[in-house]
Amino acid sequence: MIKKFIRKILGVKNDRDPTEPVILGPEEHKIDPKNVSANAVRVTQTLQEAGYKAFVVGGAVRDLLLGVKPKDFDIATDATPEQVKRLFRRAFIIGRRFQIVHVMFGQDLLEVTTFRGNGSDNAPKDEHGRVLRDNSFGPQHEDAARRDFTINAMYYDPATQSVLDYHGGIEDIRAKTLRIIGMPEARYREDPVRMLRVVRFAAKLGFTIEPTTRAPIPVMAPLIDNVPAARVFDEMLKLLLSGHALACLKELRSAGLHHGLLPLLDVVLEQPIGMKFVTLALESTDGRVKAGKGVSPGFLFASLLWHQVLEKWNAYRAAGESPIPALHLAADDVLETQTDNLALQRRIATDMRDIWAMQPRFERRTGRAPYKLLEHPRFRAGYDFLLLRCASGELPAEIGEWWTEFYDAEGGERERLVAAANTREREGGGPAKKRRPRRGPRKSNGEGAPATQGAGGGEE
Ligand code: ATP
Ligand code: MG
């Protein structure tokens, strides 16, 4: 009776005892055992044979229930990290504050975590209520209650093929609902990154955020400012590399999470002028992720911030700087604000600068210049970036087409292309491939994007 009352005031929807799981068999959950990695089975089996509990947990179970092959498998157990380590030949305890074990099989890495207890009431917190450290072990039902969303809090035992569900995750999976476990405000306060996670899952899975889970987000969004920048950056990267970046950004906006939260997002979402470019960049990123191709974070962030760079570049040039130094000054400005706020790693920032700095060079198609550019170690990224600029209407499509031909061409053909470009240049028609007399500056056919014609064309 009292338990029931407490659950009622905690907003627990049904009368289920959250310390007792609902257990589903294979004919109910319909998980295809073929989607379970052999190494995950190996780990759970080894732990179970040593007398411990062991389950696949979290995102992997969610994906299995959705019929998707999980990209990685996390294991939860009641064995301590030391006990886990002893059972495997290549196992490493990592993390100082909360230890987890990395078990390796060849290239495959599995994360094994000991059930965490709900010590978070006494855990040290910052002045905003964010939990700083929380290291206690506990029973399985407490581990379940500490997870973020109901659909992420289920356990799968490969040996018995059963799913353990403490929080109605199965129903929420079926209803395509994202529901936070416990009191939403309290859970976001403990860890504001959960607000970004719910948005990412909603966009990625095509799920709806349940109203009480969603309601506090716009109000609590500023709490993300207190989260260490590196952690926000990691989450942003996950979001942008989820294969659903565009949907994620729209969702962030509609959840009220974009404002004043991440300088990057403010810039991206509140400048319609760069929106076409960003949309194209994210579409192409999403396409690559879905096709299993690699995406470089440097390219991604270079795209997201390009229009900010462009604006400053134009401003420096208008103030009398010559184009190349002006571009570097603009890049400095943009990188400086973003590295402060977003903890852009140095390596990523270097890639971004390379990609930007290459851009004026694409407008020089005479003499040896195009050959030199082709040898640039990051040519491919710079060229892909150029194509986005053309596709968004910032530059004439013809420049991109010329480079595509030049890139694909064999020796003699390249000479011919450069010669053709030289001729156009001499005739004063600008670097055009087809004979089309041009008068005056070429017009950008974009949506008002600042034109950069002549930015690099011709100058040394
Ligand atoms: P993805 O497909 O993105 O990997 P995931 O659910 O596996 O999704 P992870 O970040 O790998 O996400 O986390 C694994 C599990 O750990 C989650 O499913 C969830 O149960 C738990 N978890 C992760 N982050 C949090 C958090 N901030 N608060 C509470 N639980 C979390
Ligand atoms: Mg995961």
CA of 60 to the centre of ligand 2 (A): 7
Res 14: pLDDT: 56
Atom of ligand 1 nearest to the CA of 60: 7
Shared domain check, 162 and 33:
yes
CA of 442 to the centre of ligand 1 (A): 51
Res 444: pLDDT: 38
For ligand 1, atom 21: residue with the closest CA = 147
Domain assignment of residue 281, yes or no? yes
Shared domain check, 138 and 6:
yes
CA of 62 to the centre of ligand 2 (A): 10
Least confident range from 247-261, 265-279, 331-345, 412-426: namely 265-279
> What integer is the mean pLDDT of 212-217?
96
Res 374: pLDDT: 93
Shared domain check, 143 and 212:
no
Which numbered ligand comes closest to the C-alpha of 244?
A: 1
For ligand 1, atom 18: residue with the closest CA = 58
Domain assignment of residue 434, yes or no? no
Res 268: pLDDT: 64
CA of 147 to the centre of ligand 1 (A): 7
Q: Does ligand 1 come within 6 angstroms of the Cβ of 167?
A: no
Domain assignment of residue 440, yes or no? no
Domain end call among 261, 288, 305? 261
Shared domain check, 361 and 319:
yes
Model pLDDT for residues 165-212, shown as the tens digit of each residue: 999 999 999 999 999 999 999 999 999 999 999 999 999 999 999 999
Model pLDDT for residues 312-338, shown as the tens digit of each residue: 999 999 999 999 999 999 999 988 877
CA of 406 to the centre of ligand 1 (A): 46
Domain assignment of residue 315, yes or no? yes
> What integer is the mean pLDDT of 298-302?
91
Domain assignment of residue 451, yes or no? no
More confident residue, 278 or 6: 278
Q: Does ligand 1 come within 6 angstroms of the Cβ of 244?
A: no
Res 257: pLDDT: 81
CA of 58 to the centre of ligand 2 (A): 7
More confident residue, 344 or 234: 234
Shared domain check, 324 and 218:
no
Q: pLDDT tier at 443 (50, 70, 90 boundaries)?
A: very low
Task: Look at residues 246, 180, 248, 263 and name the one whose alpha carbon lies nearest to residue 216.
Answer: 180
CA of 40 to the centre of ligand 1 (A): 17
Split into its structural domains, the chain has a count of: 3
Atom of ligand 1 nearest to the CA of 242: 3
Res 62: pLDDT: 98
Q: Does ligand 1 come within 6 angstroms of the Cβ of 36?
A: no
Domain end call among 175, 195, 219? 175
Atom of ligand 1 nearest to the CA of 72: 4
Shared domain check, 418 and 271:
yes
Domain assignment of residue 450, yes or no? no
CATH code at position 113: 3.30.460.10
Q: Does ligand 1 come within 6 angstroms of the Cβ of 143?
A: no
Q: What pTM, to 2 d.p., does this model score?
A: 0.80
Q: Does ligand 1 come within 6 angstroms of the Cβ of 78?
A: no
Shared domain check, 114 and 14:
yes
| Structural domain span for residue 58 | 2-175
CATH code at position 300: 1.10.3090.10
- Residue of 147, 207, 231 to mutate, ligand 1, most atoms within 8 A of C-beta: 147
Shared domain check, 408 and 343:
yes
Shared domain check, 156 and 124:
yes
Least confident range from 48-52, 275-279, 289-293: namely 275-279
CATH code at position 255: 1.10.110
> What integer is the mean pLDDT of 407-411?
87
Shared domain check, 383 and 274:
yes
Shared domain check, 94 and 54:
yes
Share of the chain above pLDDT 70, in %: 84
Atom of ligand 1 nearest to the CA of 74: 14
- For the annotated catalytic residues, the residue numbers are 72, 74, 148
- Residue of 65, 66, 152, 238 to mutate, ligand 1, most atoms within 8 A of C-beta: 152
Domain end call among 175, 198, 224? 175
State the average pLDDT for the chain: 86
- Residue of 57, 148, 195, 227 to mutate, ligand 1, most atoms within 8 A of C-beta: 148
Residue 112: pLDDT above 60? Answer: yes
Shared domain check, 373 and 303:
yes
Domain assignment of residue 106, yes or no? yes
Model pLDDT for residues 129-170, shown as the tens digit of each residue: 888 877 789 999 999 999 999 999 999 999 999 999 999 999
Domain assignment of residue 18, yes or no? yes
Q: Does ligand 1 come within 6 angstroms of the Cβ of 189?
A: no
